[in-house]
């Protein structure tokens, strides 16, 4: 039996969130989750082209951040992290290159299961379908600004909200161009940016919040909608 050689990273997180990853990231599409009993390993062709565990570990930081953001936006999943690099050998064995866990995990109660849409034919097994999250990873390889927007979204502070919006503005051609898209109300974008700008500067400075500042949670929900629209546009859906 032939075994696919390459690299992976060991995922650590809440069982609900790891199950979400396994549901959304399936073969034969890239990236995918290789599940062995109660352990989950992220694999991607981006890892397999690298020379050693250190290179894989460095690349995994950005990919896991992007996936955490995409999984939260699409399915409400909370972050997972990766702990070690795994080498998949031709004989079917695995070599573990241990490292300190990278990223944080938030415990939560399950809000609901995700459902990945699949095509079915009468009398046959369901056909696998590439998930939006996998599509977003592929798009990110060709659109650095969208990749950065996901990373900033995942980091989840006011500074990062502001920087993510700047990435989207640059991607569409400027601040006015983003508002003109009509993905969300222009007034809401202005409110988010002004609130974020006030928090990322010192108190008492010239950057004052609006009279009705938005909460960080609501700002991130709006940002998630913007990011989803941007990826849909990049894919040709809008």
Distance CA 30, CA 59 (A): 15
Coil, helix or strand at residue 182: coil
Length of the chain in terms of residues written = 238
* Of 80, 102, 124, the domain-final residue: 102
pLDDT of residue 99: 55
Query: Do 10 and 96 share a structural domain?
Result: yes
pLDDT of residue 115: 34
pLDDT of residue 107: 45
Distance CA 207, CA 198 (A): 5
Distance CA 121, CA 64 (A): 34
Nearest Cα neighbor of 229 from 174, 149, 159, 175 is 149
The answer as to whether 228 is a domain residue is yes
Nearest Cα neighbor of 219 from 148, 164, 146, 147 is 164
* Of 46, 80, 102, the domain-final residue: 102
Query: Do 88 and 10 share a structural domain?
Result: yes
The answer as to whether 13 is a domain residue is yes
pLDDT of residue 102: 52
β-strands 6-12, 39-43 pairing: antiparallel
68 neighbors 11 (Cβ within 8 angstroms): no
Query: Do 34 and 98 share a structural domain?
Result: yes
Low-confidence stretches of the chain (pLDDT beneath 70): 1-3, 92-93, 97-127, 201-207, 237-238
Q: How many domains does the chain have?
A: 2
69 neighbors 151 (Cβ within 8 angstroms): yes
The answer as to whether 121 is a domain residue is no
Query: Do 147 and 72 share a structural domain?
Result: no
DSSP-H helix ranges across the chain: 15-24, 45-48, 53-75, 132-142, 144-155, 158-172, 175-180, 186-199, 216-235
pLDDT of residue 65: 97
pLDDT of residue 209: 74
Q: What is the pTM of this model?
A: 0.83
Residue in this structure with the two tokens 């920087």, named with its chain if needed: 163
Domain span at residue 32 reads 6-102
The answer as to whether 44 is a domain residue is yes
79 neighbors 105 (Cβ within 8 angstroms): yes
C-beta neighbour count of 159 within 10 angstroms = 14
93 neighbors 118 (Cβ within 8 angstroms): no
The answer as to whether 169 is a domain residue is yes
CATH of the domain at 80: 3.90.1600
Read off the pLDDT of residues 16-72 as tens digits, 9 standing for 90 and up.
999 999 999 999 999 999 998 899 999 999 999 899 999 999 999 999 999 999 999
* Of 45, 75, 102, the domain-final residue: 102
């Amino acid at each position: 039996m032939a075994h696919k050689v390459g690299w992976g990273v060991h995922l650590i997180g809440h069982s609900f969130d790891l199950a979400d990853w396994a549901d959304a990231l399936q073969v034969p599409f890239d990236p995918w989750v290789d599940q062995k009993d109660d352990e989950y390993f992220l694999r991607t062709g981006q890892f397999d082209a690298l020379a050693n565990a250190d290179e894989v570990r460095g690349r995994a930081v950005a990919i896991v951040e992007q996936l955490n953001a995409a999984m939260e936006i699409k399915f409400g999943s909370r972050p997972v992290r990766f702990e070690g690099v795994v080498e998949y050998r031709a004989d079917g064995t695995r070599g573990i290159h241990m490292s300190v866990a990278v990223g944080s995990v938030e415990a939560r109660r399950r809000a609901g299961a995700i459902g990945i849409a699949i095509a079915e034919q009468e009398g046959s097994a369901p056909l696998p379908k590439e998930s939006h999250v996998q599509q977003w990873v592929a798009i990110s390889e060709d659109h650095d600004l969208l990749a950065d927007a996901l990373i900033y979204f995942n980091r989840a502070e006011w500074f990062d909200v502001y920087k993510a919006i700047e990435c989207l503005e640059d991607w569409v051609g400027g601040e006015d161009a983003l508002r003109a898209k009509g993905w969300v109300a222009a007034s809401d974008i202005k409110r988010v940016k002004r609130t974020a700008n006030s928090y990322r500067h010192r108190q008492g400075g010239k950057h004052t919040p609006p009279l009705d500042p938005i909460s960080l949670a609501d700002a991130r929900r709006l940002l998630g909608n913007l990011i989803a629209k941007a990826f849909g546009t990049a894919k040709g859906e809008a």
